[in-house]
Amino acid sequence: MSTRWLYLLPLATLGIVAGFFAWSLTSDRNPASIGSALVGRPAPTLNAAPLREGETAVTDASLRGRPVVVNFFASWCAPCQLEHPILMRLAEREGATVVGIAYKNKPADALAFLKRLGDPYKHAGLDPDGKIAIDWGLSGVPETYVIDARGIVRLHFRGPISERDVKDSILPALKAGS
Amino acid sequence: MIPELGHFALILALCVALVQGTVPLYGAARGEPALMALGRMAALAQLALVGVAFAALTHAYLTSDFTVANVVANSHSAKPMLYKFTGVWGNHEGSMLLWTLILALFGAAVAAFGENLPETLRARVLAIQALLGVGFLAFLLFTSNPFERVFPPPADGNGLNPLLQDPGLAFHPPLLYLGYVGFSVAYAFAVAALIEGRVDAAWARWVRPWTLAAWCFLTLGIALGSWWAYYILGWGGFWFWDPVENASLMPWLAGTALLHSAIVVEKRDALKSWTVLLAILAFSLSLLGTFLVRSGVLTSVHAFAQDPARGLYILAFLLAVTGGGLGLYAWRAPALKPGGLFQPVSREGGLILNNLLLSTLAVAVLLGTLYPLFLDLLTGEKVSVGPPFFNATFVPICAPLFAALCVGPFLSWKRSDLWPALRRLQIAFAVSVAAALIAAFAIDGRSTLAAIAFGFGVWLILGTLAGALDRVAGGAGAMQRLRRLPRAFIGMSIAHAGLGVVVLGCVGAGAWNLEAMRAMKHGDRMSFAGYEFTLRGVEEVPGPNWIAERATLEVTRGGAPFTTLRPERRLFTVQRRLIAETAIQTNLVRDLYATLGESDGQGAWVVRLYFNPLAPWIWLGAAFCALGGFVSLTDRRLRVGAPSRRRTVLPPAAQPAE
C-alpha cells in the first residue's frame, strides 16, 4: 500500500512548481531586474577625471542640490548607442541633469561617440580602469542611476533604459526627488 | 473579409474540438461504435478548419494587410517575401496558431493512419488530442486573437524583430513545434491507456513511432536554434544555458528517455508505469517551455511579448493537462500489472540506467532553470544559474551515460554477461583512451576535462561502430547480414554515433577555440591561428530593409590567398536595431569566424576573430541523430499502422511472462 504514495509524487511536485509560478505571476516581481543593493542608500562617492578638456573633475558636489541621472556608458557598447537618443531627450526636452561616466573608454573614443550621437551630459567623467564602477556596483554598461537631491539612490537600471522606464519611473523619481 | 473567414474558422474549429473531445470518450465508455467513429471525421475537419485560419493569416501577411493588428505589429511592406511568410509565426499569436495547426495535423494523422488501432483506444486518443486542441483554440480566441483589426489602418507596419529575419530562425519554430506537439500524441496515448487500464507491447509499438518522429523534429529544431545562436550572436558560442534553451532541452531529455523505455515495454512488457509517466512528462515539459517563454516568469533573450493574463491562462492550462495526466496516473497506474522480470545486467537493465541518467539530467536542467525564480520569491535574492552549474551537473552524469551507451546494445534481454560485451569493445576502448591522451598532451594542457570528453566522443563513435561490426562481420555472408540488418538497428547506430560527433564538436568549439579582438584600419594585418587577416575596407551596403557596414577581410595562409570574409553590421531601418552578421568560412572540420564591431569614427573598426575547431560537427552530429531517428522510423515494425498485424499474432497471453 505504501508504494501507492509514490505514484502521487509527480502530482505533488507539479503542485509545488505550479504554486511558485502562480505566486510569481501574481506578485509584482520583475524578472528582468537583477536587483541593486544601492537603492535607498546614499550614492557611493564619485571622483572622476573630466572627459571634456578644460572642465573640472566630476565629484559628489556635482550630484548634490537637485535630482540627477548618472549614466555609465562606453563607445564600444552597442546597447549604449541604443539608449543614447533617450538620454538626449531626457536632457534636452525634460531638462534633467544627466551625468555621464565613460567606462573603460579612451577619452578620444568617448568624445567621438558623443560628437556623433549628441552630448546629453552636464558633467562627464572618465573611469578608465573601472574603479568607480566597482564602487557603484556596476555589472556592465550601460547602467543608469537616479539620485535625489539629498544624494540618495532612488533607481538603478542595469542595461539600456527605454522610453517606458523614462515615463514610468525616471521622470516621477526626478519630480519626487527635488 | 479573409481575416474574418479565418476568425470564423477558428471558432468553428473550437466547436468541432469540443464535440471531438467529448462524444468519442462517451462512446468509448458506452461501447457505441457510431459515437467513437465521430472522432476520426472531427479530427480531419479540425485540421481543415485550423488550416483555413492559418491560410487566412498567411494571406494577410503576404499581402501586408495592415488592417490586421497582428500584421501591423510584426510586419512591414519593405520586408523580403520570405520573412513576410515566416513572420506569420514570428510573434505570439501567430506562433500559437502554428502550434494549434500542428496539433490538429497530428490529430488528423492519428485519425488517418490509425486504421488498425483498437476502436476504443483510437476514440480516446483522438478525444484527448481534441481536448488539448480546445485549450489552445480557446487561448487563441479569448486572449490572443491573431485576426484582430485596427481602424484606421496605419500606413505601414512596425516590422519583424530583426533577429528573427534570418533563415535559421525562420524555420526553427516550426521544427521545434513539430517536436513539442508531437509529444502530445504520446501524451494522448498515455492518458488513453490509463483510462483503459491497459498498457501492453502493442501499445508501446503504437507510441514509439509518434515519439520517435517528434523526437527527430525536436532534435532538428534545437540544433537549428543553437546554430542560429552560433552565427548570429557573434560570440562564437553555441549553447548558453538560457531558460528558453533549457525549456526545449527538458522535453528532449524526457523524450529520449521515453524512446528507450518504450522499447522495454514493447519487447519485454516491463517498465510500463514508468513509460506512461515519461509520456505524460515529455509533453508536460513541452507545455512548461511554452509557459516559461510566454508568461514573463523568467526572462530570456528569445522571449515573446509577455503578458501576465496570458501567463495565468497557460498556467491554468498547464495545470489541467499535467495535473489531469498525473492525477490519472496516481489513480490508475498502481493497477498496471508489472511484466517480465530481468536481471540487473541485461538489455533492460542498461535501458533503465539510461532512463535514470537521462531523467536526472532533465531534473538538473529543471532545477537550474527554476532555482533563480524560487530563490527570488522566497528570499528576494537575485541569482543567475549559468554554465558552471550545468557543466558541474552534466559532466558527471553524462560520463556514465556515454560509457554505458556503447555497452548496452551488446547485452541480451533478460540476463546477460558484462564481460563478453566489454571484450568485444576493447579495441574501441583502447583507441578512445589513446585519443584522450593525445588530446591531453598534443592539443594543449589547458583542460583535462576536455580531453576526457574528447575520449568519450571517440568512444561513442567507435563503440557504436564495433556494435554494428559485431552484427555483420565474422566469416562468410557478411554482405548478406549487412543487408538484413533491421532499419531500427541501423537508425540506432547512426544516432548513437551522431551523439559522439556532437560531443567532439562541443569539445572542439567549447574548449579548444581561439579568439582575438583588435581594432583594425584599412590595410591593417593581423596573424591569427595560422592565417593572416588583412582589412581591405568597410563599405556601406543597402539591403531591402537594412543598411549594412560590410567589411572585407582578406585571408591568406602562408602568403597564398585563402578566402575572403565579409562580416557585416546591419542597421534595420524600421526598428533602428543593429544586428551583426558574422562571416563564417567552414571546411566542416573547423570554422573561421569573423564579426565586425564598432568603428571608432576615425577609420578603425573592431574586428573579432574566432577559430573554432570541430564546431560544424555539433550540428552535423545532431543531424545524424535525427537522421538515425528517421531511418529507424522506416523499420517495418514501426511503420505507422503496421503494428496491428503483430497484435493479432501476439495476443497478451503469448507474451513472455518469465
Domain ranges of chain A: 33-177
In terms of domains, do B338 and B198 share one? yes
What pLDDT, on the 0 to 100 scale, is given for residue B335?
Answer: 83
Q: Contacts by B600-603 with C-beta closer than 8 Å and gap 24+?
A: B600/A75, B600/A108, B600/A109, B600/A112, B600/B519, B601/A109, B601/A112, B601/A113, B601/A115, B601/A116, B602/A108, B602/A112, B603/B521, B603/B522
Rounded to 5°, the CA angle A37-A43-A44 comes to: 90
- Percent of chain B whose predicted confidence (pLDDT) is above 70: 94
Q: What is the pLDDT of residues B229-271, one digit of tens each?
A: 888 877 778 888 888 888 899 999 999 999 999 988 888 888 8
- Residue B31 has what pLDDT? 86
Residues 6+ apart with CB under 8 A from B602: A108, A112
B515, HSE (Cβ side, Cα atoms, 13 Å): 13
Nearest by CB: B297 against A8, A15, A31? A31
Mean pLDDT across the stretch B129-141? 94
Q: What pLDDT is attached to residue B645?
A: 38
Q: B209: Cβ–Cβ under 8 A, 6 or more apart, which residues? A: B633, B638, B639, B640
Contact criterion met (CB < 8 Å) for B327 and A29 = no
Residues of chain B above pLDDT 90, percent: 40
Chain B stretch 254-293, residues whose beta carbon is closer than 8 A to a beta carbon of chain A: 273, 277, 280-281, 284, 291
- Contacts of residue B322 in chain A, CB cutoff 8 Å? 14
Summary mean pLDDT of chain A = 85
pLDDT tens-digit series, residues B425-445: 889 999 999 999 888 887 766
> Across the interface, which of B295, B322, B373 has its CB nearest the CB of A14?
B322
Contacts B597 to A, Cβ<8 Å? 76
Q: Which domain holds residue B519?
A: 514-613
| Residues B105 and B197 reside in one and the same domain | no
CB contact under 8 A, B370 and A82: no
What does R_g of chain A's alpha carbons equal in angstroms?
21
Q: Which of B78, B84, B62, B89 is nearest to B3 (CA)?
A: B62
Q: How far apart are CA B644 and CA B572, in angstroms?
A: 56
Residues B159 and B181 in one domain: no
Instruction: Quote the CA–CA distance of B64 and B84 in Å, as a whole number.
Output: 8
- Give the count of beta carbons closer than 10 Å to the beta carbon of residue B458: 22
Query: A35 vs chain B: nearest CA distance in angstroms?
Result: 7
Last residue of a domain, one of B107, B138, B165: B165
Q: Provide the residue type at B579 as one letter.
A: I
- Side chain identity at B35, as an amino acid letter? L
> B596 forms bridges with which residues in the sheet?
B607
Lowest mean pLDDT among B390-399, B479-488, B562-571, B595-604: B595-604
In Å, how far is A17's CA from the nearest CA of chain B? 9
Q: Calculate the alpha carbon distances from B61 to B68, B177, B306, B486 in Å.
A: 9, 20, 22, 46
CA-to-CA distance for A53 and A125, rounded, in angstroms? 10
Residue with cell 569566424: B593
Tell if the CB–CB gap between B277 and A27 is shorter than 8 Å: no
Residue where one domain finishes, among candidates B382, B411, B440: B411
d(CA A84, CA A88): 6
Interface test with A, best of B322, B367, B384, B575 (most A CBs within 10 A): B322
Mutate to test the interface with B, among A13, A24, A81 (most CBs of B within 10 A): A24
Question: For residue B641, what pLDDT is reported?
Answer: 45
Q: Please report residues of A whose CB lies closer than 8 A to that of B337.
A: none
Q: Does B160 lie in the same domain as B102?
A: yes
Question: Does B650 score more than 50 pLDDT?
Answer: no
Residue B519: which pLDDT band, with cuts at 50, 70 and 90?
confident
pLDDT at A30: 58
Set of chain B residues whose Cβ sits within 8 Å of the Cβ of A115: 601
Q: Are B315 and A17 an interchain contact pair (Cβ–Cβ within 8 Å)?
A: no
pLDDT of residue B277: 94
Helix B272-295 / helix B243-268 crossing angle, nearest 10 deg: 160
Q: For residue B293, what is its C-alpha cell?
A: 517563454
Report in angstroms the alpha-carbon separations of B656 from B10, B408, B651.
49, 21, 11
What chain A residue is nearest to B579 in terms of C-alpha separation? A78
Same-domain check for residues B200 and B154: no
- Name which residue leads in pLDDT, A32 or B115: B115
Contact list in B for residue A116 (CB cut-off 8 A) is: 601
Window 209-228 of B: residues touching A by CB (8 A cutoff) are none
Among the partner residues A14, A17, A31, nearest to B296 by beta-carbon distance: A31
Q: Looking at the domain assignment, is residue B508 inside a domain?
A: no
CB contact under 8 A, B326 and A17: no
- The per-residue pLDDT of chain B, averaged, comes to 86
What is the 3-class SS of A102-147, one letter each residue? EECCCHHHHHHHHHHHCCCCCEEEEECCCHHHHHCCCCCCCEEEEE
Q: Are B136 and B54 in contact (CB under 8 A)?
A: no
For residue B228, is it within any domain? yes
Q: What is the tens place of the pLDDT at every residue in B539-555? A: 888 888 888 889 999 99
Is B347 found in the same domain as B280? yes
Tell me, what's the pLDDT at A34?
A: 54
C-alpha to C-alpha distance for B581 and B603, rounded to whole angstroms: 20
Residue with the larger pLDDT of the pair B459 and A36: B459
Quote the pLDDT of residue B400. Answer: 93
Helix B119-143 / helix B92-113 crossing angle, nearest 10 deg: 170
Name every chain B residue with its beta carbon within 8 A of the beta carbon of A112.
600-602
B381 domain residue, yes or no: yes
Same domain? B120 vs B8 = yes
Q: Rounded to whole angstroms, how far apart are CA atoms B261 and A108?
A: 64
Instruction: Sort residue B559 into left (φ over 0), alpha (ψ -120 to 50) or beta.
Output: left
Q: How far is B308 from chain A (nearest CA, A)?
A: 6
CA closest to A77 among chain B residues: B598
Does B630 lie in the same domain as B586? no
Residue B324 touches chain A, beta carbons under 8 Å:
no
Query: Within a domain: residue B316?
Result: no
Round to whole Å and give the CA distance between B235 and B231.
8
Cis amide prior to B152 (ω within 30 degrees): yes
Residue B184 pLDDT: 95
What is the number of CB-based contacts under 8 A between chain A and chain B? 89
Omega into B616 within 30° of 0, i.e. cis? Answer: no
State the residue for C-alpha cell 507474451. B655
The answer, yes or no, to whether residue B469 has pLDDT greater than 70, is yes
C-alpha cell belonging to residue B30? 458506452
Query: Torsion-angle region of residue A108: left (phi > 0), alpha (psi -120 to 50) or beta?
Result: alpha
At residue B653 the predicted structure's pLDDT band, cuts being 50, 70 and 90, is very low
The DSSP line for chain A is -THHHHHHHHHHHHHHHHHHHHHHHHS---TT----S-TTSBPPP-EEEESSTTPPPEEGGGGSSS-EEEEEE-TT-HHHHHHHHHHHHHHHTS--EEEEEEET--HHHHHHHHHHH----SEEEEETTSHHHHHTT--SS-EEEEE-TTSBEEEEEES---HHHIIIIIHHHHHHH-
B321 within domain boundaries = no
Q: What separation, in Å, do the N-terminal and C-terminal C-alpha atoms of chain A show? A: 69
Q: Does the beta-carbon distance from B382 to A35 stay under 8 Å?
A: yes
- Specify whether B8 is located in the same domain as B157: yes
Taking an 8 Å cut-off on Cβ atoms, the answer to whether A24 and B606 are in contact is: no
Task: Look at residues B448, B410, B449, B443 and name the one whose alpha carbon lies nearest to residue B429.
Answer: B410
Task: Please report residues of A whose CB lies closer than 8 A to that of B373.
Answer: 20, 24, 31
* Domain A33-177 listed as CATH 3.40.50.720: no
Structure-block grid coordinates of residue B376: 527570488
The region of weakest confidence among B380-394, B580-594, B631-645 is B631-645
Interface of A with B (CB under 8 A): 3-4, 7-8, 10-11, 14-15, 17-18, 20-27, 29, 31-35, 75-76, 78, 81-82, 108-109, 112-113, 115-116
Q: How far apart are CA B540 and CA B537, in angstroms?
A: 10
Asked whether residue B51 is domain-assigned, the answer is: yes
B505 assigned to some structural domain: no
| pLDDT(B169) > 80 | no
Mean pLDDT of all residues in B486-508: 93
How far is the first Cα of chain B from the last one, in angstroms, to the nearest whole number?
65
For A25, the closest of B297, B381, B602 (CB atoms) is B297
**E-only strand ranges, B353-438:** none
CA distance A61 to chain B (A): 32
Q: Is pLDDT above 50 for B79? A: yes
What is the secondary structure of B102-118 as a DSSP string?
A: HHHHHHHHHHHHGGGS-
pLDDT one-digit tens code per residue, B326-383 = 999 999 888 887 777 788 888 888 899 999 999 999 999 999 988 888 888 887 777 7
Closest A-chain CA to B322: A14
Q: What is the pLDDT of residues A125-166, one digit of tens each?
A: 999 888 888 888 887 788 999 999 888 888 888 888 888 888
Of residues A55, A63, A30, the one with CA closest to residue A147: A63
ipTM: 0.80
Q: Of residues B276 and A79, which shows the higher confidence score?
A: B276
The count of structural domains within chain B is: 4
B571 φ/ψ angles, rounded to the nearest 5 degrees: -100, 110
Do B334 and A4 count as a contact with CB atoms less than 8 A apart? yes
**Residue B399: predicted pLDDT:** 92
Interchain contact, A27 vs B377, CB within 8 Å: yes
Q: Is residue A147 a contact partner of residue A64, using CB atoms and an 8 Å limit? A: no
B426 and chain A in contact, CB less than 8 A = no
B418 lies in some domain = no
- The continuous run of DSSP H or E covering B597 comes out as strand B590-599
The closest alpha carbon to B267, from B337, B203, B345, belongs to B203
> At residue B487, does pLDDT exceed 80?
yes
* B81/B50 same-domain check: yes
